[in-house]
């Protein structure tokens, strides 16, 4: 048999190689199902502590207040009772925003931002990460009221140690001089803007 011309032989070999079954499996990307935020399992409410006009729209009031408070550290410096109040409002929003997305443009991104922010502000004032949100709200409300009536760490001696793990002196020191909390500021501003857009749209 006459040998095939070099070019034709090369084409035959190439075709045979293509006809061989591939031993490399195609890459498959598996996306894990999104874990539902723990906030969906919780029910929270804010205590009555402000003027009656805000009671009908507590989330809007809290969002506006926290965005302003955390925007500049000077808004909180030397105001421990107010710091306890806005942290209480952030705790409330961390559940309310996730559970009631029809009122604003909530999204998975906002959920993630709240997760980071909540870790940030709780670590700052010594609230254990596993504390149920309503217990944190109630504890911060007690701190807000106590600091509104008395001055200094002595005002916090009766706070539950299971919620405030740092003790009255260190808790007071941190509430009295909260540093700039980046993640907390970012999510507070994002929620406030979303609520304002929803109000204009509705």
- How far apart are the C-alpha atoms of 153 and 156, rounded to whole Å? 6
Q: Alpha-carbon torsion 55, 43, 133, 90, what sign?
A: negative
User: Strand, helix or coil at 5?
Assistant: coil
- Please give the share of the chain, as a percent, with pLDDT higher than 90: 48
Looking at the predicted structure, is the pLDDT value of residue 172 above 60? Answer: yes
How far does Cα 115 stand from its chain's mean position? Answer: 4
Read off the pLDDT of residues 23-81 as tens digits, 9 standing for 90 and up: 443 443 433 333 434 555 788 988 876 554 555 578 888 988 999 999 876 689 999 99
The b-or-e profile of 8-20 (16+ CB within 10 A means b, else e) is eeeeeeeeeeeee
The full set of domain ranges for the chain reads: 53-201
Please report, in angstroms and rounded to a whole number, the separation of the first and last CA atoms in the chain.
86
Pair 44, 137: CB distance under 8 Å: yes
Q: What is the percentage of the chain residues whose pLDDT exceeds 70?
A: 68
Task: Encode pLDDT of 88-107 as tens digits.
Answer: 999 999 998 878 765 555 55
């Amino acid at each position: 048999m006459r040998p095939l011309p070099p070019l034709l032989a090369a084409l035959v070999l190439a075709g045979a190689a293509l006809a061989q079954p591939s031993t490399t499996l195609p890459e498959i990307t598996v996306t894990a199902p999104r874990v539902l935020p723990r906030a969906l399992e919780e029910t929270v409410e804010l205590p009555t502590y402000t003027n009656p006009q805000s009671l009908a729209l507590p989330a809007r009031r809290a969002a506006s207040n926290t965005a302003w408070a955390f925007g500049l550290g000077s808004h909180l410096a030397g105001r421990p009772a107010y710091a306890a109040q806005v942290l209480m409002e952030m705790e409330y929003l961390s559940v309310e925003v996730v559970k009631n997305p029809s009122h604003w443009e909530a999204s998975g991104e906002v959920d993630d931002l709240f997760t980071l922010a909540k870790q940030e502000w709780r670590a700052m004032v010594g609230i254990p990460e596993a504390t149920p949100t309503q217990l944190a709200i109630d504890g911060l409300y007690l701190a807000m009221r106590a600091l509104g009536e008395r001055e200094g760490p002595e005002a916090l001696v009766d706070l539950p140690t299971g919620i405030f793990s740092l003790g009255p002196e260190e808790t007071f020191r941190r509430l009295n001089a909260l540093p700039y909390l980046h993640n907390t500021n970012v999510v507070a501003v994002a929620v406030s803007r979303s609520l304002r857009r929803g109000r204009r749209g509705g």
